Amino acid sequence: MSNHRQIHIGFIGGGNMAQAIIRGLVAVGHDASRIAVADPAEEQRQLVAAIDSDIELTADNTSIAATSELLVLAVKPQIMPAVCQSLAKTPRNPQQILISVAAGITLHSLAGWFGAGAAIVRVMPNQPALLAEGMSGLCATPEVSAASRKQAGYVMQATGKAIWFEDEALIDAVTAVSGSGPAYFYLVMEIMQEVAEEFGFDTATARLLSTQTALGASRVATSCNEDLATLRERVTSPGGTTATALATLEAEGIRAMFRKALKAARDRSVELGRLTDST
């Protein structure tokens, strides 16, 4: 379909990530009447309805699965096997593209539940998708055509940036870097706020100093093509306060610590995928 805004997109699950994607789609002009959401919780359906009253809402997964051209699987990983196995037994659009945004659920598992010929896209989004500032990594089974990739990319680009990977193993690395990444930055901001309060600032001021500095640095980094080391060096005067702080961090092993943390996150993602594949 040439006009992506008219694609009929169904969501199984209406939680935070589904709402983020839907909000993004509506913001870019997608026809809200071509969006449908199935969620058993009335509270979640009401939250989706608040985005746009034209969105179709139901507690019935099968009715959504039957009509959607793109079906977004947005349920918790622990219930994904049961949900997918149930959906696989229900009538669905034969040309349907399945998009999973559940962490740790591999293409192998999804193909096992839906059948080897299913067109499946695996996505690793992240929390800033809630503000259309997300970073998503995507990979797909060979059954997903170039046109279908564009449609799936359109859905995730509504929440921020999206990048395709041919090697699914890299999705575990995406999980470690950008999927879990916001928490690393929140921790740094949290520490900066705590120290600022120790210096004597009130909580609100300490939080503002921390979060606005992080926001500003991120905007500078994303608005230019200079490498991050150069940007860091431009803030660092020899013998100055920044140089002293950075030297302390380096002496404490910050690089090794972050490398160890990200590798641990990647390895855990691999492990979770293997556990799912074995079920």
Question: What integer is the mean pLDDT of 82-89?
Answer: 94
Q: Which pLDDT tens digit goes with each residue over 208-223?
A: 999 999 999 999 999 9
- CA distances to 60, 154, 171, 183 from 70, rounded to whole Å, are 17, 11, 21, 30
Q: Which pLDDT tens digit goes with each residue over 19-72?
A: 999 999 999 999 999 999 999 999 999 999 999 999 999 999 999 999 899 999
Whether 96 and 202 map to the same domain: the answer is no
Whether 22 and 154 map to the same domain: the answer is yes
Whether 62 and 156 map to the same domain: the answer is yes
State the pLDDT at residue 279: 64
State the pLDDT at residue 272: 86
Residue 236 lies in a domain: yes
Q: Which pLDDT tens digit goes with each residue over 223-268?
A: 999 999 999 999 999 999 999 999 999 999 999 999 999 999 999 9
State the pLDDT at residue 104: 87
Whether 227 and 154 map to the same domain: the answer is no
Whether 220 and 130 map to the same domain: the answer is no
pTM attached to this predicted model: 0.90
- If we measure between CA atoms, which residue out of 252, 220, 139, 124 comes closest to residue 181? 124
Whether 164 and 26 map to the same domain: the answer is yes
Q: Of the residues 146, 174, 202, which one is the last residue of a structural domain?
A: 174
Coil, helix or strand at residue 235: helix
Whether 28 and 157 map to the same domain: the answer is yes
State the pLDDT at residue 87: 95
Whether 132 and 224 map to the same domain: the answer is no
How many angstroms separate the CA atoms of 24 and 110, rounded? Answer: 25
- If we measure between CA atoms, which residue out of 18, 112, 142 comes closest to residue 73? 18
50 residue type, one letter: A
- Sort 190 into a burial class: Cβ within 10 Å, 0-12 / 13-18 / 19+: middle
How does residue 103 score in pLDDT terms, banded at 50, 70 and 90? confident
State the pLDDT at residue 1: 38
Mean pLDDT rounded to a whole number for the chain? 94
Q: Of the residues 174, 208, 233, which one is the last residue of a structural domain?
A: 174
Residue 185: pLDDT above 90? yes
Tell me the residue range of the domain where 86 lies: 4-174
Coil, helix or strand at residue 72: strand
State the pLDDT at residue 94: 84
State the pLDDT at residue 276: 78
Task: Give how many domains the chain has, as a whole number.
Answer: 2
Residue 274 lies in a domain: no
Whether 260 and 149 map to the same domain: the answer is no
Residue 78: pLDDT above 60? yes
122 φ, ψ (degrees, to nearest 5): -105, 130
State the pLDDT at residue 204: 98
